[in-house]
Amino acid sequence: MTSVTILEEFSRDQLLDFYKDMLRIRAFEDETLKYYEVAKVYGMLHVAHGKEALAVGFAKNIKPNDFVLASYRAHDHALMKGIVMYRLAAELMGRATGINKGKAGSMHIMDDKTRFLEDSVVGGQIPIANGIAFAFKYLGESSIVVCFFGDGACNIGAFHETLNMASLLKLPIVFVVENNKWAITTHVSISTSVDKIVKRAVAYNMIGMEVDGTDVLAVYRVAKKAISIARNEKKPVLVEAHTVRIRGHYDGDILQPYRPKEDIEQHRKNDPIPKFRAKLYELGVLNEKLDKKLWREAKLEAEEAYKKAEKDPFPPPEEALTDVFPGEEAKIPPELTLLSVKDVEKAENMRMITYAKAINEALHEEMEKDDKIFILGEDIRWGGVYRVTEGLLERFGPERVINTPIAEEAITGLALGAAMMGLRPIVELMYTFTYNIAMDQVTNHIARIPYMSGGKFKVPLVIRSPNYTLASVGAQHSFRNEAWFMHTPGLKVVITATPFDAKGLMKTAIRENNPVLFFEHARLYHVRGPVPDKEYYIPLGKADVKRKGSDVTIVTYSRPLYDVLKAAEELSKEGIEAEVIDLRSLAPLDEETIISSVKKTGKVVIVEEDEITCGVGAEISALIMEKAFDYLDAPVKRVAAPMVPIPFSKPLEEYVVPNAKDVIKAVKELLG
């Protein structure tokens, strides 16, 4: 393109504006390295040298209400999205005035006001981007999402799941591959099966574009076109931007022994700032005097940002305990709050309905009240495998009842992004074992983004899934993992056994402004129980004493409750009165009800289906030892599955899964 053509397309001020922002990014990163060398910036550091043209070219087409997501090398995108340089510097120094109160550091910069999120998990932000774009479309906003990630992220499942779903749902999003040809030490020619990543757009029926990411004007043009398609045509675009990595993968990777010297030299020659400077000199827009002036201004801004941040205090130590659950707890009208089925006074208000029907009613009632609630999952439009979502499609339509591909990372990531934007998603995972597939989004993102953001992002979402035992479905489907999530800060864990509890707690979980994992049990879906015909809610974190007793406390939850109650009746015939506690919530855990019962009986048996090692019973045993040891007349007894996968054969499975006989045996052994 000739100089005349460029000056016809861009004004002098525009060209200088591009250059100034590129200098701002470089100056900030240079100053960051100085502070890193003396350990005032610390942790892992990845600087954006070489990406300036890409960040600036896109930023000039992005509106304030658009959302930008990027990988851990993203100080450039943070600055371009409007995060104040001083607040960014303070965050990198771990100061209280940091954009995320010192809880994010270099790799997790986030801000709800400027609508920016940086992620340290390779490709972890890609599914979240879908959710944010979904929310914009759902709410009728004209905003779009731009999601940046490296070439290494294009080979993970989340990339493929997300692009497929974005195309299916026609989401307003631009996916940008920052292809510098190196995923840490691995060259793209070794890691990637196609010679150009943009070719993968064809597989997902989306438009693909390619650009020289070191040419800010070329980036600007492609970004303008891609963003226009996303905004006006409401469909995703994949852009492959060929960029450079001038320094090592992280600041300690100085020598880069895995890279040929000529490759390093070639990347340095393609440094976008000298390239654009030369172009501006050629156009007569820039001269040496102005160039030095702009450099001084950029450096001065970076120096002053760090000097100011350095004077700021570190956060007080106790700040570490805040923002785990930044959302408000569910607001429940006092007159509609019930703690137990026994609280329902009039018997004529009770109906005998199934566990599945109780959950179905909860979903209908809450979706009726709030049009920001939507539900997504595999096969849910037809009721799901267990018919729990039956009738939702007919009542609320396909916009709020969304069938998804089999893609658990994309499903949970979409829910997260949508929740961050104020929607209230309910996810159905077909089986509990699929949490293993969705683990990155659930534990690295849903549980931690509210905290890392310093409370800026709330995540009001529910994930429902059924446990499955005693059905001869083998070790992979018969999977119990609720204890994993009890150990994960930032998640609330509910697990119910009766229709009454299932409905009341589901309604509360949906109103909660923090993430709730709601465990159901496939063997309970057809169990019937009393449920009021009037609306009610059960608070999270409140156990229920299902049976009073004075000789021994039996603590349990989920399907084993029925075995425990059966065992308690048998024991009663022998003069042994067991008090049965149904936990209902594992996080938060009702310590008060447990300890109160232990103080009364002096003896405890804990019953669960999960494997015994590091299970829920182990945690409760430790709790009792710490807070009620002096009241114990005997050691705590645990009844749980042995440390084996659940087998297929009926006699083998029945041997492994605890039953009423095992409970009776444990109680009698405890009583001596």
Annotated catalytic residues are 408, 477
**Residue 243 three-state SS:** coil
On the CB side of 360, CA atoms within 13 Å amount to 21
**Cis omega before residue 588 (within 30°)?**
yes
Query: Letter for the amino acid at 308?
Result: K
Sole residue written with tokens 């683990």? 439
Extract the tokens encoding 525.
């879906």
Specify whether the CB–CB gap between 71 and 150 falls below 8 A: yes
337: DSSP letter: B
Q: Where are the alpha helices (DSSP H) in 316-384?
A: 355-369
3-class secondary structure for 152-212?
A: HHHHCHHHHHHHHHHHHHCCCEEEEEEECCEECCEEHHHHCCCCCHHHHHHHCCCEEEEEE
How far is residue 509's CA from residue 652's CA, in Å, rounded to a whole number? 36
Q: 461 CB contacts (<8 Å, ≥6 apart)?
A: 415, 416, 418, 419, 424, 425, 426, 427, 446, 515, 516
Give percent helix, percent strand, percent coil of the chain, each to the nearest 5.
Answer: 45, 15, 35
Q: 150 CB contacts (<8 Å, ≥6 apart)?
A: 71, 73, 122, 177, 178, 179, 180, 183
Specify whether the CB–CB gap between 138 and 234 falls below 8 A: no
How far is residue 132's CA from residue 127's CA, in Å, rounded to a whole number? 9
Angle at 222 between CA 219 and CA 228, to 5 degrees: 130
Specify whether the CB–CB gap between 396 and 402 falls below 8 A: no
How far is residue 561's CA from residue 435's CA, in Å, rounded to a whole number? 24
Sole residue written with tokens 């430790």? 622
Specify whether the CB–CB gap between 208 and 174 falls below 8 A: no
Q: Where are the alpha helices (DSSP H) in 348-407?
A: 355-369, 392-396
348: DSSP letter: G
Relative to beta strand 637-641, strand 604-611 is parallel
354: DSSP letter: E
How far is residue 175's CA from residue 203's CA, in Å, rounded to a whole number? 14
Query: Letter for the amino acid at 531?
Result: V
Extract the tokens encoding 23.
């200098």
Torsion region of 116: left, alpha or beta (phi above 0 gives left; psi -120 to 50 gives alpha):
beta
How far is residue 382's CA from residue 375's CA, in Å, rounded to a whole number? 13
Burial (CB < 10 A; 0-12, 13-18, 19+), residue 480, is buried
Sole residue written with tokens 């240079």? 30
Sequential DSSP letters for 608-622: EEEESTTSHHHHHHH
Specify whether the CB–CB gap between 355 and 520 falls below 8 A: yes
How far is residue 147's CA from residue 175's CA, in Å, rounded to a whole number? 5
